[in-house]
Structure 1
Amino acid sequence: MSTPSTSRPARGRPPRLDQGRTIETALALLNDSGLDALTMRRLAGAMGVQAGALYRYFETKDDLLTAMAERMMADASVAPEGGADWSDRLSVLARALRQALLAHRDGARVFAGTHSTGPGTLGFAEACAGVLRDAGFADADAGRALMAVVHFTLGHTLEEQAALRPGGGSPADPDVLREAVSSGGYPHLTAALPTLTEADYAPHFEFGLALLVAGLETLRRDPHHR
């Protein structure tokens, strides 16, 4: 008996729908139009299938977002130099997470609230926890410090990406903040305006990361904290 022709794709032609290609297509749509425009129906159209076919791999849109977040985390898999100071190694990981989220439009929004247990996400968390435990942090402190680093990086990147105009890619007009501050009698904010309206978010991230790491170092050295 001959094998039905529908049991395998034609030679040299990839299957129309598979999980990996669906995730990559979803990320391409995300980069093109943003998270709000990413729907299961639009994704199905880009894949050339009916919307119902996507539910073979993703029962809900949240499942799709989790898979997309996991794919992003593959780009955050870095191996900090073992001989470096723990604070430098942890900072390298935090920077890698930020860059992985920035690599995709609305990347931080996609990642926020997802709870992937894939190798990319768990590998990143394992690397952070390992740096902290090797530095002498208690297990509970290592876990909380890991969460603090991820939450700080995620929150910063959310704000960083939100500052981009939906269609342009240029920072939001700082004149709006300047006008509001100057017309309201805020002398301290006026003094800080050059920094508050700075378009480059990297120095802001590095400043906050340095504060976080310094706080962790103080905790690590505290003999009364166990």
Structure 2
Amino acid sequence: MTNKQTIDRRGSRLDPGTVVRAALELLDEQGLEAISMRAVANRLGVRMNTVVWHVKTKTRLLELMADSIAGEIALGGLPGSPDERARELARRYRRVLLAHRDGAALVAGTYAAEPHTLRYAETLVRALLDGGAAERQAAWTAWSIVYLTLGLAQEEQAAPAQGLEGRLTDAVSETSHPSLYRVLDHFDARSFDERFEFGLHALLTGAGPVGGAAGG
């Protein structure tokens, strides 16, 4: 039985959750560019107006998809240490983004102030506050962690097979860009895990009451 057949095709039985699940299946199979109201309707075997009735606009559909992805982040079993809790939350966020084709690009293009997204943000900010960060530090560090995670995951999902360093080698020389040339060996687009952990460590080291600039 195909994925399309597993979803009830009768518009009267559809709900926003069913539409979002169909859209996420389409995302995983064909990528973000394939998402449209008509494509989701075709997948469900209903008229496009039926999909519009439940999710209103494509923008709203993408917001609900982004929130559904956030809902896949497990918030139980977190470390007791605030610092390790924040690190683990960021790692779990990255994993769910990478679990969906173009997942990072989808989420980065939305502003989903929705239940799952807010629940994750609440848990992350609480970890930072518990670690001693002032209010502004906690808010801005949370934003920075989200931006780091989204940006690096988006790069990883879009990275060419030959890697960034191959392109740089052709474009950079000791004469034309001496500083870049010195560090060229470290521009390895495949070192996503290491670069993520490096950035996360840098952000959290500066987030505590000693490391960062104070702000209430």
Q: Name the amino acid aligned to 1:147.
A: W
C-alpha separation in 2, matches of 1:185 and 1:115:
40
Deviation sequence 1:118-138 (CA, Å, 0-9, x none): 331111111111111212222
Residue number among 130, 135, 139 corresponding to 2:126 in the alignment: 130
Q: Residue in 2 aligned with 1:221?
A: 210
2:145 is equivalent to residue 149 of structure 1: yes
Q: Residue in 2 aligned with 1:57?
A: 54
Taking structure 1 as the reference length, what is the TM-score of the superposition? 0.81
- SS of the residue aligned with 1:56? helix
C-alpha separation in 2, matches of 1:171 and 1:18:
43
C-alpha separation in 1, matches of 2:198 and 2:212:
27
Taking structure 2 as the reference length, what is the TM-score of the superposition? 0.84
RMSD: 2.4
Residue number among 158, 172, 180 corresponding to 1:181 in the alignment: 172
Deviation sequence 1:62-88 (CA, Å, 0-9, x none): 10000100110012232353532x221
Structure 1 gap segments, 5+ residues each: 1-12, 165-169
2:84 is equivalent to residue 93 of structure 1: no
Q: Residue in 2 aligned with 1:204?
A: 195
Report the CA distance between 1:197 and its aligned residue.
Answer: 2.7
2:104 is equivalent to residue 108 of structure 1: yes
Deviation sequence 1:138-189 (CA, Å, 0-9, x none): 223222222121122112222222215xxxxx45474322211248643433
RCO higher in 1 or 2 (8 Å CA, sep ≥ 6)? 2
The aligned length equals 206
C-alpha separation in 2, matches of 1:68 and 1:223:
35
Q: Name the amino acid aligned to 2:169.
A: R
Q: Residue in 1 aligned with 2:30?
A: 33
Residue number among 55, 62, 66 corresponding to 2:63 in the alignment: 66
Q: Name the amino acid aligned to 2:166.
A: D
Pair 23,184 (structure 1): closer, same or farther in 2 beyond 3 Å: farther
Structure 2 gap segments, 5+ residues each: 1-6
C-alpha separation in 2, matches of 1:57 and 1:184:
59
C-alpha separation in 1, matches of 2:212 and 2:137:
14
Which moved further from structure 2: 178-187 or 131-140? Answer: 178-187
Deviation sequence 1:92-129 (CA, Å, 0-9, x none): 11111111111111111111142323331111111111
Pair 192,183 (structure 1): closer, same or farther in 2 beyond 3 Å: closer
Pair 46,156 (structure 1): closer, same or farther in 2 beyond 3 Å: same
Q: Name the amino acid aligned to 2:29.
A: D
